[in-house]
Amino acid sequence: MEIIGYLSLVGVGVSLGLLGVGGAILVIPIMMYLFKVPVVLSTSYSLVVVSTTAATAAFRQRHRIDFKRALAFIIPSLVGVSLSRGIILPNLPSTIGGMTLEHAIILLLVALMFTASIIMLSEVKYIPDSEDDKLHLKVAVLAFILGVFLGILGAGGGFLIIPVLVVLLGFPMKEAVPTSLFITALNSTTGFLIDHQDFTQDHWASAAKFVVSALIGMTIGIELNRKFHPDYLRKAFAWLVLILASFMTWREFF
């Protein structure tokens, strides 16, 4: 199964190279079902893979990143990541609402995956809302919430960051995608640095192989990006996420 796992991580990298966002949400299921990694450790591995691949992708498009305007999102999201990874997650009880902690995390991840697939399948056009007098408060609250989710789940959430950048902060799409990658890389790195002390030498060795696999895939995806229409690819990826979320729901809760 490990060979399939590494090939799947290559696929995650391919999707990130093709679409710019979205692939990271598949890392945790790959860790859980193909590498048989416990859920919480899977989130740590995900943070490593996401931070590296997102940073690499963002660096390639760094001339399109609006660092100054992104600060309105970055600061509260970093607070959320730090709070959830450093305080909330380590102190969560072993059972929550009759579920184990592992199942509670899986439930949140499945909800995020369903949300991601619906957003990517929809034909919603994001329209900037410059008339909102509570703009900065809304951005701060949403960024904080997304940071908390990222810290707990280890999933990038770029598909949720982009609408906030476009609708509330007025980013054009060509700047929103690389800026969301930069934010995702920064948040993921912060989340991992908070709990990296729990990593053993074996964990680091495994993480290195996971990252290399994803980066190989991303290189392939970047090359393929010139040959395929991104809208069709986005819909195909959305269906994959939807099917996988349905499978996880059936396997874990029924």
Q: What is the mean pLDDT of the chain?
A: 86
pLDDT score of 198: 78
Out of 40-49, 152-161, 191-200, least confident range: 152-161
Distance in angstroms (rounded) separating the CA atoms of residues 156 and 125: 22
Q: Indicate if the pLDDT at residue 223 is higher than 70.
A: yes
Task: Give dist(CA 110, CA 199) in Å, integer.
Answer: 26
> Residue 3 in 3-state DSSP?
helix
Q: Is the pLDDT of residue 29 over 60?
A: yes
**End-to-end alpha-carbon separation of the chain, Å?**
24
Q: Note the pLDDT of residue 148.
A: 93
What region does 211 belong to: left with phi over 0, alpha with psi -120 to 50, or beta?
A: alpha
Q: Does pLDDT of 5 surpass 90?
A: yes
Q: What is the pLDDT of residue 126?
A: 63
This prediction has a pTM of: 0.89
d(CA 241, CA 113): 6
Say if residue 231's pLDDT is above 80: no
Minimum mean pLDDT among 172-176, 200-204, 206-210: which range?
172-176
pLDDT at residue 225, as a whole number: 73
- Joined tokens for residue 104: 């509670």
Convert the pLDDT of each residue in 76-100 to its tens digit: 999 999 999 999 998 999 898 888 9
> How do residues 97-151 score in pLDDT, each as one tens digit?
888 999 999 999 899 889 888 887 876 666 666 555 577 888 899 999 999 988 8
Q: Where are the alpha helices (DSSP H) in the chain?
A: 2-19, 27-34, 39-60, 67-83, 101-121, 135-153, 158-163, 173-195, 201-224, 230-253
Taking the C-alpha atoms of residue 23 and residue 59, their distance in angstroms, rounded to an integer, is 17
Q: Is the pLDDT of residue 236 over 60?
A: yes
pLDDT tens string 161-190: 888 888 788 888 788 888 988 998 999 999
Confidence of residue 19 (pLDDT cuts 50, 70, 90): confident
Is the pLDDT at 37 greater than 90? The verdict is yes
